[in-house]
Protein backbone atom coordinates (compact mmCIF):
# COMPACT_ATOMS: atom_id res chain seq x y z
CA UNK A 1 0.00 0.00 0.00
CA UNK A 2 1.71 3.19 -1.21
CA UNK A 3 0.72 6.81 -0.70
CA UNK A 4 -0.09 7.22 -4.38
CA UNK A 5 -2.20 4.09 -4.42
CA UNK A 6 -4.60 5.69 -1.96
CA UNK A 7 -4.37 9.36 -2.82
CA UNK A 8 -7.65 10.53 -4.31
CA UNK A 9 -8.59 7.24 -5.88
CA UNK A 10 -12.36 7.43 -5.52
CA UNK A 11 -13.92 4.00 -5.51
CA UNK A 12 -17.15 3.42 -7.33
CA UNK A 13 -19.97 1.45 -5.76
CA UNK A 14 -18.50 -1.74 -7.24
CA UNK A 15 -14.87 -0.73 -6.58
CA UNK A 16 -14.30 0.03 -10.25
CA UNK A 17 -11.80 2.47 -11.76
CA UNK A 18 -11.10 5.51 -9.56
CA UNK A 19 -12.87 8.76 -10.30
CA UNK A 20 -10.20 11.08 -8.94
CA UNK A 21 -6.64 10.04 -9.58
CA UNK A 22 -3.18 11.38 -8.87
CA UNK A 23 -0.93 12.44 -11.74
CA UNK A 24 0.68 9.69 -13.76
CA UNK A 25 4.07 8.51 -12.53
CA UNK A 26 5.87 10.56 -15.15
CA UNK A 27 4.00 13.68 -14.04
CA UNK A 28 4.80 13.16 -10.35
CA UNK A 29 8.50 13.67 -11.01
CA UNK A 30 7.69 17.07 -12.54
CA UNK A 31 5.26 18.25 -9.89
CA UNK A 32 6.04 19.37 -6.34
CA UNK A 33 6.12 16.88 -3.50
CA UNK A 34 5.50 17.52 0.16
CA UNK A 35 8.28 17.26 2.70
CA UNK A 36 6.45 14.25 4.11
CA UNK A 37 6.58 12.50 0.74
CA UNK A 38 10.22 13.37 0.10
CA UNK A 39 11.20 11.94 3.46
CA UNK A 40 9.15 8.76 3.00
CA UNK A 41 7.05 9.76 5.99
CA UNK A 42 10.03 10.18 8.33
CA UNK A 43 8.98 13.76 9.10
CA UNK A 44 6.02 16.06 8.60
CA UNK A 45 5.99 18.79 5.98
CA UNK A 46 7.39 22.00 7.43
CA UNK A 47 5.53 25.27 7.17
CA UNK A 48 8.08 26.76 4.74
CA UNK A 49 7.65 23.64 2.60
CA UNK A 50 3.87 24.06 2.74
CA UNK A 51 4.20 27.66 1.60
CA UNK A 52 6.55 26.65 -1.20
CA UNK A 53 4.16 23.96 -2.44
CA UNK A 54 1.13 26.25 -2.33
CA UNK A 55 2.97 29.01 -4.13
CA UNK A 56 4.04 26.53 -6.79
CA UNK A 57 0.55 25.18 -7.50
CA UNK A 58 -0.84 28.72 -7.46
CA UNK A 59 1.71 29.67 -10.11
CA UNK A 60 1.57 26.50 -12.21
CA UNK A 61 -2.12 25.62 -12.32
CA UNK A 62 -4.72 27.93 -13.87
CA UNK A 63 -7.49 26.09 -12.01
CA UNK A 64 -6.02 26.88 -8.56
CA UNK A 65 -5.89 30.05 -6.48
CA UNK A 66 -4.36 30.39 -3.02
CA UNK A 67 -5.75 33.24 -0.94
CA UNK A 68 -4.69 34.60 2.41
CA UNK A 69 -8.01 34.76 4.26
CA UNK A 70 -6.75 35.42 7.79
CA UNK A 71 -3.73 35.87 10.03
CA UNK A 72 -2.95 34.13 13.31
CA UNK A 73 -1.79 35.83 16.47
CA UNK A 74 1.80 34.91 15.57
CA UNK A 75 1.39 36.45 12.12
CA UNK A 76 1.15 33.20 10.18
CA UNK A 77 -1.17 33.11 7.17
CA UNK A 78 -4.49 31.30 7.14
CA UNK A 79 -4.89 30.22 3.54
CA UNK A 80 -7.75 29.03 1.38
CA UNK A 81 -7.08 27.00 -1.76
CA UNK A 82 -9.82 27.26 -4.41
CA UNK A 83 -9.86 24.57 -7.10
CA UNK A 84 -12.06 24.40 -10.20
CA UNK A 85 -11.98 22.61 -13.55
CA UNK A 86 -10.38 25.42 -15.57
CA UNK A 87 -10.36 28.48 -13.31
CA UNK A 88 -10.59 28.93 -9.53
CA UNK A 89 -14.21 29.14 -8.35
CA UNK A 90 -15.38 32.45 -6.92
CA UNK A 91 -17.32 32.74 -3.67
CA UNK A 92 -20.48 33.61 -5.58
CA UNK A 93 -20.17 30.62 -7.87
CA UNK A 94 -19.36 28.29 -4.98
CA UNK A 95 -22.30 29.50 -2.89
CA UNK A 96 -24.68 28.91 -5.81
CA UNK A 97 -23.30 25.54 -6.90
CA UNK A 98 -22.01 22.34 -5.35
CA UNK A 99 -18.89 22.54 -3.20
CA UNK A 100 -16.79 20.64 -0.70
CA UNK A 101 -14.54 22.19 1.96
CA UNK A 102 -11.61 20.36 3.57
CA UNK A 103 -10.50 21.74 6.94
CA UNK A 104 -7.17 20.32 8.01
CA UNK A 105 -5.33 20.41 11.35
CA UNK A 106 -7.60 22.41 13.60
CA UNK A 107 -5.50 20.79 16.33
CA UNK A 108 -1.84 21.54 15.80
CA UNK A 109 -0.59 18.21 17.14
CA UNK A 110 -2.69 16.19 14.65
CA UNK A 111 -0.66 16.49 11.43
CA UNK A 112 -1.77 13.58 9.26
CA UNK A 113 -4.86 15.31 7.89
CA UNK A 114 -2.74 18.25 6.78
CA UNK A 115 -0.52 15.91 4.77
CA UNK A 116 -3.54 14.34 3.08
CA UNK A 117 -4.89 17.80 2.27
CA UNK A 118 -1.62 19.05 0.81
CA UNK A 119 -1.27 16.03 -1.47
CA UNK A 120 -4.93 16.43 -2.47
CA UNK A 121 -4.33 20.04 -3.49
CA UNK A 122 -1.29 19.06 -5.51
CA UNK A 123 -3.01 16.13 -7.22
CA UNK A 124 -6.06 18.16 -8.20
CA UNK A 125 -3.87 21.01 -9.42
CA UNK A 126 -1.90 18.88 -11.88
CA UNK A 127 -4.22 16.04 -12.83
CA UNK A 128 -5.18 15.55 -16.48
CA UNK A 129 -7.66 12.78 -15.77
CA UNK A 130 -10.91 13.47 -17.62
CA UNK A 131 -13.18 12.11 -14.93
CA UNK A 132 -11.46 14.24 -12.31
CA UNK A 133 -11.83 17.34 -14.45
CA UNK A 134 -15.48 16.51 -15.03
CA UNK A 135 -15.91 16.24 -11.27
CA UNK A 136 -14.36 19.70 -10.85
CA UNK A 137 -16.73 21.12 -13.45
CA UNK A 138 -19.63 20.16 -11.20
CA UNK A 139 -18.09 20.59 -7.73
CA UNK A 140 -15.82 23.34 -6.42
CA UNK A 141 -13.13 22.11 -4.04
CA UNK A 142 -12.00 24.37 -1.19
CA UNK A 143 -9.13 23.49 1.14
CA UNK A 144 -7.70 25.14 4.24
CA UNK A 145 -4.49 23.08 4.52
CA UNK A 146 -3.64 24.30 8.03
CA UNK A 147 -6.41 25.80 10.13
CA UNK A 148 -4.06 26.14 13.13
CA UNK A 149 -0.57 27.05 11.88
CA UNK A 150 0.57 28.42 15.26
CA UNK A 151 -0.37 25.16 16.96
CA UNK A 152 1.25 23.16 14.16
CA UNK A 153 4.51 25.09 14.63
CA UNK A 154 4.42 24.51 18.39
CA UNK A 155 3.11 20.95 18.21
CA UNK A 156 0.19 21.86 20.48
CA UNK A 157 -3.50 21.07 20.32
CA UNK A 158 -4.52 24.70 20.85
CA UNK A 159 -3.49 27.86 19.06
CA UNK A 160 -1.01 30.49 20.28
CA UNK A 161 -3.41 31.41 23.11
CA UNK A 162 -3.88 27.78 24.09
CA UNK A 163 -7.47 27.84 22.83
CA UNK A 164 -8.97 24.72 21.31
CA UNK A 165 -10.24 26.08 18.00
CA UNK A 166 -12.73 23.25 17.69
CA UNK A 167 -14.52 24.58 20.77
CA UNK A 168 -14.74 28.14 19.41
CA UNK A 169 -17.12 27.94 16.47
CA UNK A 170 -19.90 29.77 18.36
CA UNK A 171 -18.01 32.40 20.40
CA UNK A 172 -15.48 33.09 17.60
CA UNK A 173 -12.82 34.46 19.93
CA UNK A 174 -9.90 33.16 17.86
CA UNK A 175 -8.68 34.43 14.52
CA UNK A 176 -8.78 30.87 13.25
CA UNK A 177 -12.45 30.22 14.11
CA UNK A 178 -13.43 33.66 12.81
CA UNK A 179 -11.79 32.83 9.51
CA UNK A 180 -13.64 29.52 9.27
CA UNK A 181 -16.95 31.25 10.09
CA UNK A 182 -16.41 33.78 7.32
CA UNK A 183 -15.67 30.98 4.85
CA UNK A 184 -18.87 29.13 5.80
CA UNK A 185 -20.84 32.37 5.45
CA UNK A 186 -19.38 33.45 2.10
CA UNK A 187 -18.87 30.12 0.31
CA UNK A 188 -21.74 28.10 1.84
CA UNK A 189 -20.05 24.72 1.26
CA UNK A 190 -22.47 21.84 0.79
CA UNK A 191 -20.08 19.30 2.35
CA UNK A 192 -17.43 19.87 5.01
CA UNK A 193 -14.77 17.29 5.89
CA UNK A 194 -12.87 17.99 9.12
CA UNK A 195 -9.64 15.97 9.51
CA UNK A 196 -8.36 15.04 12.99
CA UNK A 197 -6.43 12.37 14.93
CA UNK A 198 -7.10 10.62 18.23
CA UNK A 199 -5.35 8.59 20.91
CA UNK A 200 -6.90 5.13 21.50
CA UNK A 201 -8.11 3.50 24.72
CA UNK A 202 -7.46 -0.25 24.37
CA UNK A 203 -9.34 -2.49 24.07
CA UNK A 204 -12.52 -0.44 23.59
CA UNK A 205 -11.45 2.45 21.37
CA UNK A 206 -8.85 1.22 18.92
CA UNK A 207 -10.06 1.55 15.33
CA UNK A 208 -7.73 2.88 12.63
CA UNK A 209 -10.28 5.48 11.51
CA UNK A 210 -13.30 6.93 13.31
CA UNK A 211 -15.99 9.16 11.80
CA UNK A 212 -18.98 11.11 13.10
CA UNK A 213 -21.74 13.24 11.61
CA UNK A 214 -23.40 16.28 13.29
CA UNK A 215 -25.43 15.08 16.26
CA UNK A 216 -26.90 18.49 17.12
CA UNK A 217 -30.71 18.33 17.01
CA UNK A 218 -30.98 21.62 15.12
CA UNK A 219 -29.46 20.01 12.04
CA UNK A 220 -32.08 19.55 9.32
CA UNK A 221 -33.08 15.89 9.08
CA UNK A 222 -32.10 15.56 5.41
CA UNK A 223 -28.72 17.18 6.04
CA UNK A 224 -28.02 14.84 8.92
CA UNK A 225 -29.14 11.87 6.84
CA UNK A 226 -26.65 12.79 4.13
CA UNK A 227 -23.88 13.27 6.69
CA UNK A 228 -24.59 9.88 8.21
CA UNK A 229 -24.66 8.35 4.74
CA UNK A 230 -21.29 9.94 4.04
CA UNK A 231 -19.88 8.25 7.13
CA UNK A 232 -21.55 4.86 7.02
CA UNK A 233 -21.76 4.18 3.28
CA UNK A 234 -18.74 5.98 1.88
CA UNK A 235 -15.95 7.08 4.24
CA UNK A 236 -15.89 4.02 6.50
CA UNK A 237 -16.33 1.48 3.65
CA UNK A 238 -13.62 3.24 1.65
CA UNK A 239 -11.23 3.02 4.61
CA UNK A 240 -12.18 -0.63 5.15
CA UNK A 241 -11.53 -1.40 1.47
CA UNK A 242 -8.05 0.06 1.95
CA UNK A 243 -7.41 -2.31 4.87
CA UNK A 244 -8.29 -0.08 7.83
CA UNK A 245 -10.63 -0.85 10.72
CA UNK A 246 -13.32 1.77 11.34
CA UNK A 247 -15.80 2.89 13.95
CA UNK A 248 -17.96 5.75 15.22
CA UNK A 249 -16.08 8.53 16.96
CA UNK A 250 -16.75 8.82 20.68
CA UNK A 251 -18.19 5.33 21.15
CA UNK A 252 -16.32 2.60 23.00
CA UNK A 253 -17.19 -0.87 21.70
CA UNK A 254 -16.86 -4.33 23.21
CA UNK A 255 -13.83 -5.98 21.58
CA UNK A 256 -15.65 -9.34 21.35
CA UNK A 257 -19.22 -8.44 20.40
CA UNK A 258 -18.60 -5.08 18.74
CA UNK A 259 -21.54 -3.65 20.69
CA UNK A 260 -21.42 -0.09 22.09
CA UNK A 261 -20.18 0.07 25.69
CA UNK A 262 -19.91 3.75 26.54
CA UNK A 263 -19.99 7.17 24.91
CA UNK A 264 -16.90 9.21 25.80
CA UNK A 265 -17.10 12.03 23.22
CA UNK A 266 -19.03 13.11 20.16
CA UNK A 267 -22.00 14.90 21.66
CA UNK A 268 -24.23 17.57 20.13
CA UNK A 269 -22.66 20.72 21.52
CA UNK A 270 -22.99 23.47 18.95
CA UNK A 271 -19.51 24.97 19.29
CA UNK A 272 -17.82 21.91 17.70
CA UNK A 273 -17.36 22.29 13.96
CA UNK A 274 -19.21 19.17 12.79
CA UNK A 275 -22.24 20.40 14.75
CA UNK A 276 -21.82 24.04 13.74
CA UNK A 277 -21.66 22.87 10.13
CA UNK A 278 -24.93 20.97 10.51
CA UNK A 279 -26.72 23.93 12.09
CA UNK A 280 -25.44 26.07 9.21
CA UNK A 281 -26.87 23.55 6.70
CA UNK A 282 -23.67 21.84 5.52
CA UNK A 283 -23.18 18.08 5.40
CA UNK A 284 -20.38 17.92 7.94
CA UNK A 285 -18.19 15.00 8.93
CA UNK A 286 -15.43 14.53 11.48
CA UNK A 287 -12.73 12.01 10.50
CA UNK A 288 -10.17 10.86 13.09
CA UNK A 289 -7.21 8.56 12.49
CA UNK A 290 -5.41 6.63 15.23
CA UNK A 291 -2.01 8.00 16.24
CA UNK A 292 -0.16 5.35 18.25
CA UNK A 293 2.08 2.68 16.68
CA UNK A 294 0.10 -0.48 15.95
CA UNK A 295 2.95 -2.95 15.46
CA UNK A 296 6.49 -3.56 16.63
CA UNK A 297 7.62 -2.44 13.17
CA UNK A 298 5.82 0.89 13.59
CA UNK A 299 7.37 1.32 17.03
CA UNK A 300 10.82 0.75 15.54
CA UNK A 301 10.20 2.96 12.50
CA UNK A 302 8.01 6.05 13.11
CA UNK A 303 7.80 6.60 9.33
CA UNK A 304 5.64 3.48 9.07
CA UNK A 305 3.28 4.84 11.71
CA UNK A 306 3.16 8.25 10.01
CA UNK A 307 2.43 6.76 6.60
CA UNK A 308 -0.35 4.59 7.98
CA UNK A 309 -1.98 7.62 9.56
CA UNK A 310 -1.83 9.64 6.34
CA UNK A 311 -2.98 6.68 4.24
CA UNK A 312 -6.10 6.29 6.38
CA UNK A 313 -6.89 9.98 5.92
CA UNK A 314 -6.44 9.59 2.16
CA UNK A 315 -8.74 6.57 2.19
CA UNK A 316 -11.38 8.68 3.96
CA UNK A 317 -11.01 11.35 1.27
CA UNK A 318 -11.53 8.64 -1.32
CA UNK A 319 -14.95 7.98 0.19
CA UNK A 320 -15.71 11.68 0.51
CA UNK A 321 -15.17 12.43 -3.17
CA UNK A 322 -17.08 9.34 -4.19
CA UNK A 323 -20.00 10.47 -2.01
CA UNK A 324 -20.05 13.95 -3.54
CA UNK A 325 -19.87 12.59 -7.08
CA UNK A 326 -22.60 9.99 -6.64
CA UNK A 327 -25.01 11.98 -4.43
CA UNK A 328 -24.51 15.53 -5.66
CA UNK A 329 -28.20 16.06 -6.44
CA UNK A 330 -29.34 14.70 -3.07
CA UNK A 331 -26.75 16.79 -1.23
CA UNK A 332 -27.80 20.00 -2.98
CA UNK A 333 -31.48 19.27 -2.33
CA UNK A 334 -30.82 18.67 1.38
CA UNK A 335 -28.66 21.76 1.93
CA UNK A 336 -30.79 23.99 -0.29
CA UNK A 337 -34.05 23.16 1.45
CA UNK A 338 -32.41 23.49 4.86
CA UNK A 339 -31.25 27.02 4.00
CA UNK A 340 -34.80 28.00 3.08
CA UNK A 341 -36.60 26.31 5.98
CA UNK A 342 -35.76 29.01 8.52
CA UNK A 343 -37.87 31.56 6.68
CA UNK A 344 -40.97 29.57 7.61
CA UNK A 345 -40.09 30.09 11.30
CA UNK A 346 -41.76 26.92 12.48
CA UNK A 347 -40.83 24.11 14.84
CA UNK A 348 -38.88 23.79 18.08
CA UNK A 349 -35.30 24.88 18.69
CA UNK A 350 -33.09 22.71 20.86
CA UNK A 351 -30.66 24.11 23.45
CA UNK A 352 -29.29 20.66 24.26
CA UNK A 353 -29.54 16.99 23.49
CA UNK A 354 -28.27 15.04 20.51
CA UNK A 355 -29.52 12.55 17.95
CA UNK A 356 -28.79 9.77 20.47
CA UNK A 357 -29.69 11.81 23.57
CA UNK A 358 -33.20 13.35 23.45
CA UNK A 359 -33.47 16.92 24.64
CA UNK A 360 -35.23 17.46 27.95
CA UNK A 361 -38.21 19.83 28.17
CA UNK A 362 -35.88 22.40 29.74
CA UNK A 363 -33.62 22.13 26.70
CA UNK A 364 -36.44 22.54 24.19
CA UNK A 365 -37.98 25.78 22.94
CA UNK A 366 -41.28 24.33 21.73
CA UNK A 367 -42.63 27.76 20.85
CA UNK A 368 -39.59 29.99 20.32
CA UNK A 369 -39.94 33.77 20.36
CA UNK A 370 -40.11 35.50 16.98
CA UNK A 371 -36.75 37.11 17.72
CA UNK A 372 -34.40 38.57 20.33
CA UNK A 373 -33.95 42.22 21.24
CA UNK A 374 -30.53 43.57 22.11
CA UNK A 375 -29.65 46.91 23.63
CA UNK A 376 -27.26 49.06 21.65
CA UNK A 377 -24.56 48.14 24.13
CA UNK A 378 -25.19 44.41 23.76
CA UNK A 379 -25.23 44.69 19.99
CA UNK A 380 -21.92 46.56 19.96
CA UNK A 381 -20.37 43.65 21.88
CA UNK A 382 -21.59 40.91 19.54
CA UNK A 383 -22.16 42.62 16.17
CA UNK A 384 -18.95 41.28 14.63
CA UNK A 385 -19.75 37.73 15.67
CA UNK A 386 -23.31 37.92 14.33
CA UNK A 387 -21.98 39.22 11.03
CA UNK A 388 -19.35 36.49 10.80
CA UNK A 389 -22.00 33.86 11.45
CA UNK A 390 -24.17 35.42 8.75
CA UNK A 391 -27.03 36.22 11.14
CA UNK A 392 -29.28 39.12 10.04
CA UNK A 393 -30.46 41.86 12.38
CA UNK A 394 -32.19 45.22 12.09
CA UNK A 395 -32.59 48.41 14.08
CA UNK A 396 -35.58 48.33 16.43
CA UNK A 397 -36.36 51.44 18.46
CA UNK A 398 -33.46 52.09 20.81
CA UNK A 399 -31.96 48.68 20.18
CA UNK A 400 -31.57 45.91 17.63
CA UNK A 401 -33.85 43.01 16.75
CA UNK A 402 -32.51 39.65 15.57
CA UNK A 403 -35.49 37.83 14.02
CA UNK A 404 -35.78 34.06 13.88
CA UNK A 405 -37.32 34.27 10.41
CA UNK A 406 -34.06 33.83 8.50
CA UNK A 407 -31.90 31.08 7.05
CA UNK A 408 -29.96 30.53 10.29
CA UNK A 409 -33.12 30.54 12.41
CA UNK A 410 -32.06 27.74 14.76
CA UNK A 411 -28.65 29.30 15.36
CA UNK A 412 -30.12 32.55 16.71
CA UNK A 413 -31.29 31.19 20.11
CA UNK A 414 -27.99 29.35 20.54
CA UNK A 415 -26.25 32.72 20.24
CA UNK A 416 -28.67 34.94 22.15
CA UNK A 417 -30.84 32.97 24.57
CA UNK A 418 -29.49 33.07 28.12
CA UNK A 419 -30.40 29.38 28.53
CA UNK A 420 -28.09 28.30 25.70
CA UNK A 421 -24.83 26.83 26.96
CA UNK A 422 -22.53 29.01 24.83
CA UNK A 423 -24.62 32.14 24.24
CA UNK A 424 -22.83 35.34 23.26
CA UNK A 425 -25.12 37.57 25.29
CA UNK A 426 -28.43 37.27 27.15
CA UNK A 427 -30.88 39.08 24.89
CA UNK A 428 -34.58 39.63 25.60
CA UNK A 429 -37.01 37.29 23.80
CA UNK A 430 -39.36 39.26 21.55
CA UNK A 431 -43.04 38.38 21.32
CA UNK A 432 -43.71 40.75 18.42
CA UNK A 433 -41.41 41.30 15.48
DSSP secondary structure, 58-83, as one string: HHH-TTEEEEEEEE-TTSPEEEEEEE
pLDDT at position 402 is 98
> Cα angle vertex 71, ends 62, 321, to 5°?
45
**CATH 3.30.390.30 corresponds to the domain 3-339:** no
- pLDDT tens by residue, 362-413: 999 999 999 999 999 999 999 999 999 999 999 999 999 999 999 999 999 9
Is 261 a residue whose pLDDT tops 80? yes
Mean pLDDT of 52-78: 98
Q: How many whole angstroms separate alpha carbon 363 and alpha carbon 421?
A: 10
Q: What is the pLDDT of residue 30?
A: 77
pLDDT digits (tens, 9 = 90+) for 288-333: 999 999 999 999 999 999 999 999 999 999 999 999 999 999 999 9
**pLDDT tops 60 at residue 2:** no
Residue 28 pLDDT exceeds 70: no
Average confidence (pLDDT) over 19-39? 69
Dihedral angle over CA of 393, 395, 396, 400, nearest 10: 50
Least confident range from 6-15, 152-161, 195-204: namely 6-15
Low-confidence winner among 10-19, 169-178, 244-253, 348-357 (lowest mean pLDDT): 10-19
Alpha helix positions (H), 40-143: 47-60, 91-96, 112-126, 130-138
Percent of the chain with pLDDT over 70: 93
pLDDT at 300: 97
pLDDT of the residue at 8: 39
Mean of per-residue pLDDT scores for the chain: 93
pLDDT single digits (tens) 152-197: 999 999 999 999 999 999 999 999 999 999 999 999 999 999 999 9
User: For position 16, what pLDDT does the model report?
Assistant: 35
Q: Say how far apart CA 248 and CA 286 lie, in whole Å.
A: 10
Burial grade of 133 (CB within 10 A; 0-12, 13-18, 19 or more): middle
Under 8 Å between Cβ of 332 and 193: no
> If you average pLDDT over residues 108-112, what whole number do you get?
98
Q: Please state the domain extents for the chain.
A: 3-339, 349-430
Q: What letter would DSSP give residue 342? A: G
Amino acid sequence: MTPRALALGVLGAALTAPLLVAPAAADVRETPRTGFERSGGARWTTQPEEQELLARVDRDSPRVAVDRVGTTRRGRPLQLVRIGATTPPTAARTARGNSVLLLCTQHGDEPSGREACLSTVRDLAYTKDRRTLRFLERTSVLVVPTVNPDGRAAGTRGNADGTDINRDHIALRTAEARTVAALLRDYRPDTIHDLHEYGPTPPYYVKDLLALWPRNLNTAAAVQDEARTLSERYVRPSAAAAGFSTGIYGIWTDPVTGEPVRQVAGDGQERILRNTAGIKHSVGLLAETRTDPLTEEEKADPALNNRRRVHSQQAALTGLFDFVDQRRTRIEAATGLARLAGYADRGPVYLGGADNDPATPEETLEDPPCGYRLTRGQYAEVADELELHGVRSRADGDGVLVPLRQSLRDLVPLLLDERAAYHLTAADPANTC
